[in-house]
Protein backbone atom coordinates (compact mmCIF):
# COMPACT_ATOMS: atom_id res chain seq x y z
CA UNK A 1 0.00 0.00 0.00
CA UNK A 2 2.89 2.37 0.80
CA UNK A 3 4.42 1.59 -2.59
CA UNK A 4 1.15 2.37 -4.38
CA UNK A 5 0.75 5.65 -2.47
CA UNK A 6 4.35 6.57 -3.29
CA UNK A 7 3.82 5.84 -7.01
CA UNK A 8 0.64 7.93 -7.11
CA UNK A 9 2.39 10.82 -5.35
CA UNK A 10 5.33 10.55 -7.76
CA UNK A 11 2.99 10.65 -10.77
CA UNK A 12 1.19 13.72 -9.41
CA UNK A 13 4.46 15.55 -8.76
CA UNK A 14 5.85 14.62 -12.18
CA UNK A 15 2.62 15.68 -13.88
CA UNK A 16 2.63 19.05 -12.11
CA UNK A 17 6.26 19.60 -13.05
CA UNK A 18 5.48 18.81 -16.71
CA UNK A 19 2.54 21.25 -16.72
CA UNK A 20 4.70 24.01 -15.26
CA UNK A 21 7.36 23.51 -17.93
CA UNK A 22 4.88 23.77 -20.79
CA UNK A 23 3.32 26.88 -19.26
CA UNK A 24 6.77 28.50 -19.07
CA UNK A 25 7.25 28.21 -22.83
CA UNK A 26 4.14 30.30 -23.44
CA UNK A 27 5.15 33.04 -21.02
CA UNK A 28 5.23 36.48 -22.50
CA UNK A 29 5.38 40.00 -21.17
CA UNK A 30 3.68 43.00 -22.75
CA UNK A 31 4.82 46.39 -21.48
CA UNK A 32 3.52 49.79 -22.61
CA UNK A 33 6.22 52.01 -24.08
CA UNK A 34 6.31 55.43 -22.46
CA UNK A 35 5.26 58.26 -24.78
CA UNK A 36 3.83 55.81 -27.30
CA UNK A 37 0.86 53.54 -27.97
CA UNK A 38 3.28 50.75 -28.87
CA UNK A 39 3.82 47.64 -26.73
CA UNK A 40 7.13 45.96 -25.86
CA UNK A 41 6.80 42.16 -26.15
CA UNK A 42 9.26 39.72 -24.60
CA UNK A 43 9.16 35.93 -24.74
CA UNK A 44 11.79 33.23 -24.31
CA UNK A 45 12.29 33.09 -28.08
CA UNK A 46 12.03 36.69 -29.25
CA UNK A 47 11.77 40.34 -28.24
CA UNK A 48 10.09 43.10 -30.17
CA UNK A 49 7.70 46.00 -30.38
CA UNK A 50 4.09 45.82 -31.52
CA UNK A 51 3.35 49.10 -33.29
CA UNK A 52 0.08 50.97 -32.92
CA UNK A 53 -2.04 51.53 -36.05
CA UNK A 54 -1.13 55.22 -36.33
CA UNK A 55 2.46 54.34 -37.30
CA UNK A 56 3.46 55.38 -40.79
CA UNK A 57 4.31 52.31 -42.84
CA UNK A 58 4.34 51.37 -46.50
CA UNK A 59 1.68 48.67 -46.67
CA UNK A 60 -0.31 47.54 -49.67
CA UNK A 61 -2.56 50.16 -51.25
CA UNK A 62 -6.08 49.83 -49.87
CA UNK A 63 -4.91 48.21 -46.64
CA UNK A 64 -5.97 49.28 -43.15
CA UNK A 65 -3.63 49.15 -40.16
CA UNK A 66 -4.55 47.34 -36.94
CA UNK A 67 -2.85 46.68 -33.60
CA UNK A 68 -1.76 43.02 -33.54
CA UNK A 69 -2.45 41.02 -30.39
CA UNK A 70 0.18 38.87 -28.69
CA UNK A 71 -1.64 35.87 -30.20
CA UNK A 72 -1.31 37.40 -33.68
CA UNK A 73 2.42 37.77 -33.09
CA UNK A 74 2.76 34.17 -31.87
CA UNK A 75 0.98 33.02 -35.05
CA UNK A 76 3.19 35.20 -37.24
CA UNK A 77 6.35 33.83 -35.61
CA UNK A 78 5.11 30.25 -36.08
CA UNK A 79 4.32 30.88 -39.75
CA UNK A 80 7.69 32.58 -40.30
CA UNK A 81 9.54 29.59 -38.80
CA UNK A 82 7.60 27.29 -41.11
CA UNK A 83 8.50 29.43 -44.13
CA UNK A 84 12.19 29.37 -43.14
CA UNK A 85 12.19 25.58 -42.73
CA UNK A 86 10.63 24.96 -46.13
CA UNK A 87 12.56 27.68 -48.03
CA UNK A 88 9.18 28.65 -49.44
CA UNK A 89 9.01 30.65 -52.65
CA UNK A 90 6.66 33.55 -51.99
CA UNK A 91 4.13 35.07 -54.36
CA UNK A 92 6.82 37.52 -55.50
CA UNK A 93 9.05 34.63 -56.61
CA UNK A 94 11.52 35.26 -53.78
CA UNK A 95 12.76 32.34 -51.69
CA UNK A 96 12.31 32.76 -47.94
CA UNK A 97 15.82 31.45 -47.30
CA UNK A 98 17.13 30.77 -43.78
CA UNK A 99 20.73 30.72 -45.07
CA UNK A 100 20.50 34.42 -45.94
CA UNK A 101 19.95 35.52 -42.33
CA UNK A 102 21.40 34.80 -38.91
CA UNK A 103 19.46 32.67 -36.42
CA UNK A 104 16.14 34.50 -35.82
CA UNK A 105 16.79 34.72 -32.05
CA UNK A 106 19.65 37.18 -32.77
CA UNK A 107 17.24 39.85 -34.03
CA UNK A 108 14.99 42.40 -32.38
CA UNK A 109 11.62 42.68 -34.08
CA UNK A 110 9.15 45.36 -35.02
CA UNK A 111 5.60 44.16 -35.73
CA UNK A 112 3.19 46.22 -37.81
CA UNK A 113 -0.28 44.92 -38.55
CA UNK A 114 -2.49 45.67 -41.51
CA UNK A 115 -5.51 44.14 -43.20
CA UNK A 116 -5.12 43.69 -46.94
CA UNK A 117 -7.79 44.37 -49.58
CA UNK A 118 -9.41 41.01 -48.78
CA UNK A 119 -9.59 41.82 -45.05
CA UNK A 120 -6.87 39.30 -44.15
CA UNK A 121 -4.55 40.14 -41.27
CA UNK A 122 -0.94 40.61 -42.34
CA UNK A 123 2.04 41.26 -40.06
CA UNK A 124 5.06 43.15 -41.36
CA UNK A 125 7.97 41.62 -39.45
CA UNK A 126 10.88 44.06 -39.45
CA UNK A 127 14.06 42.55 -37.93
CA UNK A 128 17.47 43.93 -37.10
CA UNK A 129 20.46 42.48 -35.29
CA UNK A 130 20.48 43.27 -31.57
CA UNK A 131 23.91 44.96 -31.70
CA UNK A 132 22.50 47.48 -34.24
CA UNK A 133 19.90 48.81 -31.80
CA UNK A 134 20.18 52.57 -31.26
CA UNK A 135 21.25 53.32 -27.69
CA UNK A 136 18.38 55.79 -27.26
CA UNK A 137 15.87 52.99 -27.99
CA UNK A 138 14.07 54.98 -30.69
CA UNK A 139 13.43 51.60 -32.35
CA UNK A 140 10.61 51.12 -29.85
CA UNK A 141 8.79 54.17 -31.23
CA UNK A 142 9.95 54.49 -34.84
CA UNK A 143 10.29 52.08 -37.74
CA UNK A 144 13.96 51.27 -38.31
CA UNK A 145 15.15 51.24 -41.91
CA UNK A 146 18.76 50.50 -42.81
CA UNK A 147 20.37 51.36 -46.14
CA UNK A 148 23.21 48.91 -45.72
CA UNK A 149 24.37 46.10 -43.48
CA UNK A 150 23.64 42.81 -45.22
CA UNK A 151 21.93 40.22 -43.05
CA UNK A 152 21.92 42.54 -40.04
CA UNK A 153 18.48 43.57 -41.28
CA UNK A 154 15.58 41.80 -42.96
CA UNK A 155 11.83 42.09 -43.30
CA UNK A 156 8.99 39.83 -44.37
CA UNK A 157 5.21 40.10 -44.60
CA UNK A 158 3.23 37.27 -42.98
CA UNK A 159 -0.40 36.59 -43.89
CA UNK A 160 -2.14 35.11 -40.83
CA UNK A 161 -5.17 33.95 -42.84
CA UNK A 162 -3.20 31.97 -45.44
CA UNK A 163 -0.18 30.97 -43.29
CA UNK A 164 2.01 32.50 -45.97
CA UNK A 165 5.16 34.65 -46.08
CA UNK A 166 5.90 37.12 -48.86
CA UNK A 167 8.10 40.10 -49.74
CA UNK A 168 11.11 38.59 -47.93
CA UNK A 169 13.86 41.21 -48.09
CA UNK A 170 17.41 40.94 -46.77
CA UNK A 171 19.25 44.25 -46.74
CA UNK A 172 22.00 44.86 -49.30
CA UNK A 173 25.67 44.42 -48.45
CA UNK A 174 27.97 47.22 -47.35
pLDDT of the residue at 114: 95
Q: Please report, for the chain, the start and end positions of each structural domain, with discontinuous segments joined by +.
A: 36-134+143-170
Say how far apart CA 172 and CA 132 lie, in whole Å. Answer: 15
Q: How many C-beta neighbours within 10 Å does residue 101 have?
A: 22
Percent of the chain that is helix, strand, coil (3-state, to 5): 30, 30, 40
pLDDT of the residue at 26: 52
pLDDT of the residue at 32: 96
pLDDT of the residue at 11: 40
Report yes or no: 48 and 64 within 8 Å, Cβ to Cβ: no
Average pLDDT per block of 10 residues along the chain, 174 residues long? 45 41 59 94 95 74 90 97 81 75 93 96 94 84 81 93 92 60
pLDDT of the residue at 20: 37
Element housing 154 (H / E): strand 153-159
Report yes or no: 130 and 108 within 8 Å, Cβ to Cβ: yes
The CA-CA-CA angle for residues 110, 111, 115, to 5°, reads 150
Amino acid sequence: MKTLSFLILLLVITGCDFKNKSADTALQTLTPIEGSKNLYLTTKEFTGVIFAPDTSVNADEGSVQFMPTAEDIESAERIFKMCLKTSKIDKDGIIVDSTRIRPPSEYFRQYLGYKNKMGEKVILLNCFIKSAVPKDETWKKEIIAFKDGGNNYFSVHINLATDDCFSFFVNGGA
